[in-house]
Structures are given as structure tokens and as C-alpha cells.
Amino acid sequence: MSGLVVTGWGTAVPSRVVTNAELSATLDTSDEWIVERTGIKERRVGSTTSALAIEAGRAALDVAGLTGSDIDLVILATTTGDRIVPATSPTVQDALGISGGAMDLNAACSGFVYGLVTASGLLATGLSRILLIGAETLSKITDWTDRSNAILFGDGAGALVLEATEGPGDLLGWDLGSDGSATNILRCEHGSTIEMDGKEVFRRAVRVMVESSNLALERAGVSIDDIDLVVPHQANLRIIQAACQRLGVSEERAAVVIDRYGNTSSASIPLALVDSLESGRVSSGDLLLLTGFGAGMTWASAVLRWAR
């Protein structure tokens, strides 16, 4: 059996910044309300999912010192592909010259951690290198006239290069979950925009993040006190704070980029992770807890040792 190591990382965001002040010009809201209730100050809007994924993927390949021809598979976690059929990952595969396969994965905001666990299984059974990308253009399924939704979402992408290694590797434990009876609390039908019961999503999100994190920690054989950095899905700063409190970890140990990017669904965990890497917050040997939740509902957590 082979384990997994992370050898490359990268991100991409559109250049257009939409501030709370800009939203307040057309919506009955304010910077103060948005910051206090969500922690979001601005978000990036524009581009396409494939273009953001390609840029983030290329950056991750560069860090790993690889080219597309070294990659056996690209997994693109997204809810906002360029089109319904074909998937968006073949566009990424072609642009980056990836010699292997390509698949999209939709587990909403849990998609990146679902992708990490999927990649781990495929690396254990024979693949050598996988490019895992989370990329979204939520702006195209956001109703910009609805103040309860428009303030939350943004566009962006993040990517990791994952390679097989002898032995157990650095993914120490994980948990995946789903509850399809909650489909109606957060959904987007074909040709429509996101509809959400924000309060109910909030309530469930904190509970599933905590339960799922604890399962992943237990399976990794570590405790929350061993975790150097929590990398949570960035949906609402208050959800992150409540989850940290219930997990028994200081919120100082959580990676937070929601102030700059809003909720970017599948892209939010890699955006937060790479931000922490690039700002020197992560050292070799650190233990990271990645945890996300999203529409479905789905949830996913992983304990990752940072070995670089």
C-alpha cells in the first residue's frame, strides 16, 4: 500500500474585488452588518471555473517541479462547472497537458476534502501523481438582488499536487458524511440561483463539523490538542468560531481567509490552506485538521501531517 504526500500547491482568484460598500450601493445592507454577521469584507468575482482551475493547477505543478505529463489524474471539485456536459476537468487536463484521466467531483463545499480522500484511495492502488483542484464561480449562480445570499459568495480556486509514497503517508485519518434528507435547506436547480435557509444551515454546519472532526481525529489517533492548524470551510466566521469553541481549540489556530474571499465552496479550504503555507504559518511536521460542510448536506474532515 502507498500513502499520500503533498508536493505542490497553488491558488487563483479573479482580479475584480467586490467590497461590502459596493454591494451596499444596490442592496439594503451595510458593511457593518455583513462584517458582524459573517466576517466577510470583500470577495473576488469573475473569470470561469476552468480558467481559475488551470491557473491554480499550473501554480501547484510549478511548486512540485512537475509538468502536466507527470500527472495521472486531475480531480476537479466544483459545483459550478463551465457547463453541464462535458465535465470541466477535461478542459483543465487539455490546457495543462495532463496525460492521465480527468473527473469532476461535486460534494458542494465538502468537495475538496472528498477529493483528497478519493485521491488517497487511488494513490494507494496504483496511481503515482494526482492534481486535486477546488474551483468555483459561485457568482454565476448567485442572485445579486437577494441580500441574504449575495453577501456570502465569491469565486476562486486552489490546488494541491498529491504523490504516492511508500508507507502510510501523511493523510492520517478522515471522515466523510452525507444527509440527503437536508437537500432543501441549500440548493440550486438548473438555470436558477442558490436558495438557502441560512439559519438552519448554520445550526447544522457547526454540529457536523465538530462531529466529523472528532471522528477524523480519533481515526488518526490524535487529539485536538495535537492539531497545529485547523483549516475549516470558509462559510461564515461565526460558524468557524463556534466550531472551534466546541472542538476545544482556540480560534487563533484556525486559518481564516473569509474576510478577503467570502464563501468559495470547493475552493475555500485550499485557499485557506495555501494562504497559511505562504504566510509561514505551517512548519514541517505540523498536524492540520481540514473540515468542511455544504449542500447535500455533505461533510468531510481530514487530518493531514505537513511533511514539507
The contact set with ligand COA (CB under 6 A) reads 29, 33-34, 37-38, 109, 147-148, 151, 186, 196, 198-199, 201-202, 205, 235-236, 263, 294
Residue among 109 and 216 whose Cβ is closer to ligand COA? 109
Asked if 109 is an active-site residue, the reply is: yes
Rounded alpha-carbon distances, angstroms, from residue 168 to 20, 172, 216: 45, 8, 16
Q: Of 20, 106, 109, 244, which one is the catalytic site residue?
A: 109
Asked if 263 is an active-site residue, the reply is: yes
Asked if 20 is an active-site residue, the reply is: no
* Minimum gap (Å) between residue 70 Cβ and ligand COA: 33
DSSP character string of 161-223: EEEEEESSBSEEEEEEEE-GGGGGGEE--TTS--EE-HHHHHHHHHHHHHHHHHHHHHHHT--
Residue among 41 and 308 whose Cβ is closer to ligand COA? 41
Are 137 and 52 in contact by the 8 Å Cβ rule? The answer is yes
Residue among 102 and 196 whose Cβ is closer to ligand COA? 196
Q: Of 149, 214, 236, 263, which one is the catalytic site residue?
A: 263
Q: Of 20, 188, 233, 236, which one is the catalytic site residue?
A: 233
* Minimum gap (Å) between residue 74 Cβ and ligand COA: 24
Residue among 137 and 263 whose Cβ is closer to ligand COA? 263
φ/ψ bin of 155: left (φ > 0), alpha (ψ from -120 to 50), beta (otherwise): beta
Output Rg (C-alpha) for the chain, integer angstroms: 18
Report the catalytic residues.
Answer: 109, 233, 263
